Structure 1
Amino acid sequence: MIESIQVFLSEFQNSNLLIKFFVILGLYHILTYLISIIDFFVRLAQPGLDLQARFGQNSWAIVTGASDGIGKQFCYSLSKRGFNVVLIVRNQEKTLPIVDDLKKKFPSLSYKIVVADFSNSLKDDSFFNNIVEKVKNLDVSILINNVGIDLAAGEKYYHKLPVKNVIENIVVNTVPQALITRALITQLLNRSQRSAIIDISSYAGVKTIPMTEIYSATKAFNLHLSRSLNQEYRKKIDFLTLTPLVTQTQMTNKQIKQGALNGYISAEQFTESSLNLVGRIQYNNGNYIHQIQSALSSIIPEYLVDLLSFKQMIKVKDSYNVEQNKNK
């Protein structure tokens, strides 16, 4: 081993400047990659912060899109950590059983339902002010921008998507994050303790994925808005931008059961690991399984990732259409 190193150093010293440059460049990239791997496992081994101590005892968390999937599970994970929760939902009747269950499991905590259909958020200038009015007397310490939809469903090609679906997808996936954050940020900044904003983007916002073009584009919006705001407000607010891969929710359940989607984690796995990152990390896939998948995809040639993504999405769309035909 020592002899090999001595030979390498001798060859390096005798090489010309161009070769020395490329060798140093290669070593630099290897070193930075190794450091990132070590940093990942060190952070993974660390326990999450005491969020009550960091953000305030008896404070409130707001979760948008709280009646399903990741949003619903965040309500349970936040409750486990002692936070009262405001559930912003479209359907109150659907949400009441969730709140009843939360109250049974966490009787010392309080819950509040705010009904808001974000697809109508641009039709009324007072839409977001009305939400803020309903929570202005609460000590809100955490905002989770989770609400999101994908109305492409089984359609494979963009030109066949109904215009109504395209517009609704853009509105629901971008406007709430932008405007509810703007409406609440002063309230968060005025607190004596730190606050947190958790933005749910998607890996689809990092890597372009075919047949989800509108969803991917809106998730890129979520990602960049969150990362930019972190730079502006990080002295007082902990931002966490999350870009999960496949998470088992109502949106993905059918495709997972049919084997069209693999490498998934549960919503609970995602929310629990994500909350352990708050205050320590600003940008992450949210779970170590997704973090590893993301790292692996970054070293695969892009053309191969594109090819695999295209084939995967064909399977996803086909499985959705098969399920829809069964239900007819």
Structure 2
Amino acid sequence: MADCILEQLKSQPAWLLVFLSLGFLSILKFSLSILKWVYVNFLRPGKNLKNYGSWALITGPTDGIGKAFAFQLARKGLNLVLVGRNPDKLKDVSESIKSKYGSTQIKNVVVDFSGDLDDGVSRIKEVIQGLDVGVLINNVGVSYPYARFLHEVDDKLLSDLIKVNVEGTTKVTQAVLPGMVKRKKGAIVNIGSGAAIVIPSDPLYSVYAATKAYVDQFSRCLYVEYKKSGIDVQCQVPLYVATKMASIRRSSFFVPSTDGYARAALRWIGYEPRCTPYWPHSLLWALASSLPESVIDAWRLKFCLGIRKRGQLKDSRKKE
């Protein structure tokens, strides 16, 4: 039978054979990509994060994704350096973690990333001196209170977006890296955003999206710079997560809870330089990639204009 098929193929014109070969290769490539997606999302084991070091440093750990990361890392047996601006919230989170994971050592560092950042980074350096900080989660970030055009963004918000999202992430990374380089191991996770990677534009959130694009490129460059030094650098790209920043209270299939996201996120640390850990988000990413950019731009603009209108109504009610 194989000989018969082979003879029939030989009798076909060359252009048809080329067409069939390209079709077969396309099907093979698609099948392999599906198998890889299944493996990395459901079968690939997470790395033992304690192999990087016994301490993890997390910025923005008092709410949302950062808080969930803190609990999940403590569950994995890591000690924590929690960096946030509110000492009372830091204390509450620390006590909650210790009540659940009593053996966890925790050090709190009060840093206002929108304030005197150099002084704050100096305090971080003092606290981590002598600690084998093996995992860094750069989670701290700010966004708009609601969608607005660039000319409506006030100077304080503009400054905070750049200082917290760009300068804060950069300087904390720079403070932690020397210890990792010395020990020849470490994992750095920078929290990016689908606003900068998944969709072609994020109108009315332009500065926020641009700062997250910086985080993505910054992460990729560091991944290449430090890979041979035993340091894994990764930019995680979540889409919507049920957080205060996203103004979403309830989780759903496509919008995970912060704990759901953090559990998925830990399994990806140490692998690809860019990823979206929560697997339903990857389905939305694939959908967005298949649509014309003009369609996504138009949909996103309409969606954000609706957010802007609701935000303006809330502001006007507060003033009354």
Give the TM-score taking structure 1 as reference length: 0.85
Aligned residue for 1:202? 193
Matching residue within 236, 246, 251 for 2:240:
246
Higher mean C-alpha deviation, range 296-305 or range 79-88: 296-305
Matched AA of 1:189: V
SS of residue in 2 equivalent to 1:276: helix
Aligned residue for 1:159? 151
CA shift for structure 1 position 311: 2.1
Aligned residue for 2:108? 113
Q: 1:81–1:24: structure 2 CA closer, same or farther, 3 Å change rule?
A: same
Give the Cα separation in 1 of the matches to 2:100 and 2:82.
16
Give the Cα separation in 2 of the matches to 1:26 and 1:320.
50
Residue 185 of structure 2 is aligned to residue 188 of structure 1: no
Matched AA of 1:220: A
Higher mean C-alpha deviation, range 180-189 or range 215-224: 180-189
Is the CA contact 2:139–2:190 (under 8 Å) kept in the aligned structure 1?
A: yes
Residue 33 of structure 2 is aligned to residue 36 of structure 1: yes
Is the CA contact 1:85–1:111 (under 8 Å) kept in the aligned structure 2?
A: yes
Matched AA of 2:157: N
Give the Cα separation in 2 of the matches to 1:318 and 1:49.
45
Residue 218 of structure 2 is aligned to residue 219 of structure 1: no
Residue 133 of structure 2 is aligned to residue 134 of structure 1: no
Is the CA contact 1:246–1:262 (under 8 Å) kept in the aligned structure 2?
A: no
Is the CA contact 1:209–1:216 (under 8 Å) kept in the aligned structure 2?
A: yes
SS of residue in 2 equivalent to 1:63: strand
Give the Cα separation in 2 of the matches to 1:287 and 1:42.
14
Q: 1:23–1:232: structure 2 CA closer, same or farther, 3 Å change rule?
A: farther
Higher mean C-alpha deviation, range 318-327 or range 104-113: 318-327
Q: 1:34–1:213: structure 2 CA closer, same or farther, 3 Å change rule?
A: farther
Give the Cα separation in 2 of the matches to 1:119 and 1:60.
25
Is the CA contact 1:155–1:161 (under 8 Å) kept in the aligned structure 2?
A: no
Matched AA of 2:193: S
Residue 83 of structure 2 is aligned to residue 88 of structure 1: yes
Q: What percentage of aligned pairs have identical amino acids?
A: 32
Figure out how many residues of one structure are paired with residues of the other and give that number. Answer: 311
Higher mean C-alpha deviation, range 230-239 or range 83-92: 230-239
SS of residue in 1 equivalent to 2:142: coil
Q: CA RMSD in A?
A: 2.8
Matched AA of 1:231: V
1:250-261 correspondence to structure 2 within 5 Å = 250-254=244-248
Residue 31 of structure 2 is aligned to residue 14 of structure 1: no
Q: Deviations over 1:295-319 (max 9, x none)?
A: 1111111111112212222233334
CA shift for structure 1 position 164: 2.1
Q: 1:73–1:327: structure 2 CA closer, same or farther, 3 Å change rule?
A: farther
CA shift for structure 1 position 183: 1.8
Give the Cα separation in 1 of the matches to 2:235 and 2:26.
25
Structure 2: tracts of 5 or more residues without a match: none
1:229-240 correspondence to structure 2 within 5 Å = 229-235=222-228, 236-240=230-234
Q: 1:100–1:214: structure 2 CA closer, same or farther, 3 Å change rule?
A: same
CA shift for structure 1 position 230: 0.4
CA shift for structure 1 position 156: 2.5
Aligned residue for 2:254? 263
Q: 1:10–1:231: structure 2 CA closer, same or farther, 3 Å change rule?
A: same
Q: 1:44–1:324: structure 2 CA closer, same or farther, 3 Å change rule?
A: same
Give the Cα separation in 2 of the matches to 1:318 and 1:26.
49
SS of residue in 2 equivalent to 1:246: coil
Give the Cα separation in 1 of the matches to 2:58 and 2:71.
11
Residue 96 of structure 2 is aligned to residue 101 of structure 1: yes
Give the Cα separation in 2 of the matches to 1:323 and 1:146.
28
Give the Cα separation in 2 of the matches to 1:284 and 1:45.
14
Matched AA of 1:294: W
Q: 1:20–1:279: structure 2 CA closer, same or farther, 3 Å change rule?
A: same
Q: Deviations over 1:225-278 (max 9, x none)?
A: 001100111131122210100011111235x56x9x993111111111110112
Give the Cα separation in 1 of the matches to 2:127 and 2:152.
40
Structure 1: tracts of 5 or more residues without a match: none
